[in-house]
Amino acid sequence: MARFAANLTMLFNEVDFLTRFEKAHDAGFKAVEFLFPYAYEPQVLADKLSQFGFEQALFNMPPGDWDAGERGFAAIPGREAEFRQSVDTALMYAQALKCKKVHAMSGLLDSQFSYQEHVDTFIENIRYAADKFAEQGVELMIEPLNSRDVPGYFVAHQREAVELIKQVDRPNVKLQFDVYHAQIMDGDLTVMIRDLADYIGHVQIASVPERHEPSEGEVNYPHVFNMLDNAGYVGWIGCEYKPRKSTEEGLDWVKPHL
């Protein structure tokens, strides 16, 4: 049975970030996720989770200079020391928020280096992070991002990500299966979910092509949810979409599931 987490970076943008916890609670959500927690002290966010009885489903490791266009650096040669420091930062937040899934952003390909150099750096960094996270029972997610929204991202295809996960060879490294990105880059969702089920550690959703409520667009989400159930997925499904109007106006699709 599908369980949905409100992505507080994308949803309830009508109010400031900390107020979004209350809005998500009032809407009926039992879990939340967001891109980055680092603008707030860990205890501030932990208190919000406790106040409203939320489970923290997921957050991302530090991405580098987001405003300058960086999208992580796990695969970027020469930034290994920075990556290791970011592991410690993310782990501190994961412990405070009791979060068991953290996404490591790979970064944009750097023309100074060969693709294989990016792969080698990625594998080394992800192994290091996975081993550190495993000590606290935390899984590390790898998410492909589509090349339309994020040109030049290190990994854009679901099966490509799984091949990298196999090379990393750590049991707590999983695929973050964002249906929005997967449909844009790969399609064939039914077969892909069936084939990759053993690797899927977290799921996110949005409509395609405009990334609005999953009740519109070209993806048959009731079918996708059934496929995930059949594949044995029991984790949270992150609602990482841009509401077409206000968040509350677009929540009719999820209310039966909350």
Residues tagged active-site: 143, 240
Alpha-carbon gap, residue 170 to 234, rounded angstroms:
21
Are the C-beta atoms of 197 and 171 separated by less than 8 Å?
no
- CA 250 to centroid of chain Cα atoms: 21
Q: How far apart are CA 255 and CA 243, in angstroms?
A: 15
- Phi, psi at residue 186, to the nearest 5°? -125, -40
Q: From CA 254, how far away is CA 258, in angstroms rounded?
A: 7
Q: Which of 224, 174, 236 is nearest to 32 (CA)?
A: 236
